[in-house]
Amino acid sequence: MKIGSKMTRNIRSQVINCLRRNRDIFAWTPKDLEGIDPGVITQHLNLDPSIKPVKQKKDTSGLKKTKHLRRNKQTIIDRTHHGEINKLLSTGHIKEIQFPEWLSNIVLVPKPSGKWRMCIDFWDLNKACPKYFYPLPRIDQLVDSTSGYELSSMMDISQ
């Protein structure tokens, strides 16, 4: 957890004490979410039944350039993918399936820091989901709504 560096010592101390007093109500790791009713945290996609599921062909376009580059990217995918996947598997939040109806490629995207971000190509799946008529609020409106408050929390968007 990170606490803003521009807080006064008094406010910083109050925030830390509040977090310590209430540490039992926060999920600090995926394991802390055990016991939550799956109906509360399970997401179901509103898929258009007229669209057939798409299994994307394995995309190796970004991995073809050289053997060395291909090996490095595969290592990045394995390390990132397996680490996060194992966390979720161990807590029962996800499960392996043998015959998926939809299959999407893993895409590596470079970060400005030089590290890699692993993403999933959900292009085909997104096309099969009808548009949502109540979009999420715009970020500028959310930021403006915090105006005038002494403290704000980013805990819900910390990933």
pLDDT, tens digit (0-9, with 9 covering 90-100), for 117-146: 778 888 898 889 887 777 777 778 877 887
CA 33 to chain centre: 16
The per-residue pLDDT for 159 is: 38
CA distances (Å), origin 149, targets 17, 104, 141, 146: 20, 42, 15, 6
On whether the CB atoms of residues 18 and 3 are closer than 8 A, the answer is: no
Instruction: Give CA–CA dist 112/120, Å, rounded.
Output: 19
Instruction: Give CA–CA dist 107/127, Å, rounded.
Output: 18
The average pLDDT across 21-28 equals 83
The residue extents of the domains of the chain are 46-157
CATH number of the 46-157 domain = 3.10.10
pLDDT, tens digit (0-9, with 9 covering 90-100), for 30-56: 777 777 777 776 777 888 889 998 888
The per-residue pLDDT for 98 is: 78
H helical segments located in the chain: 9-21, 38-41, 67-90, 123-127, 139-145
The per-residue pLDDT for 21 is: 93
With cut-offs at 50, 70 and 90, classify the pLDDT of residue 17: very high
Report which DSSP code applies to 130: P
pLDDT, tens digit (0-9, with 9 covering 90-100), for 58-112: 766 555 444 555 567 777 777 766 777 777 778 777 777 777 888 888 777 888 8
The per-residue pLDDT for 158 is: 41
Other beta carbons within 10 angstroms of residue 89's beta carbon come to 14
With cut-offs at 50, 70 and 90, classify the pLDDT of residue 25: confident
CB-count exposure of residue 30 (10 Å: 0-12, 13-18, 19+): middle
